[in-house]
Structure 1
């Protein structure tokens, strides 16, 4: 790390292994994704396989929809990306 930006705090091993991110990584690996030895590996996968990443986020977080999505990404252009077309959610 650059001397201009010193590390102020580092998480303990306990915090690293019990964080939400660590739980998500283990969940992914149990389902055949990965391995993800660190955050950087997860990040690389998330941008290399955008649709698989977001499909796993949908599943992992337990989104409840009255109609399932037809595909993860209907339109890729930015701006104007179309995420989870066909899905119907009730925000009330």
Structure 2
């Protein structure tokens, strides 16, 4: 039906983390300065909360910009087999 991607690659995770830290720090600094100017700590908290919501919206969903470099996984190796003295192969038993 729909092909909704639900993953990020490792570089996308790194990019999302850096971006969220930057957004929250920026809004925190701006909120602190604005709250200091108007002498209202509540304004600082509101601005920081808005930064948190924006950072969440930008970085939590797996947007296509976070899925540009997927990992190329190796194909699984075939299970090793053990040769018995009479020439037939018997697969190793897993313990």
**TM-score, structure 1 length as denominator?**
0.26
Q: Which has the larger radius of gyration?
A: 2
Q: Considering fraction of residues, name the structure with more helix.
A: 2
By relative contact order (CA 8 Å, sep 6+), the higher-ranking structure is 2
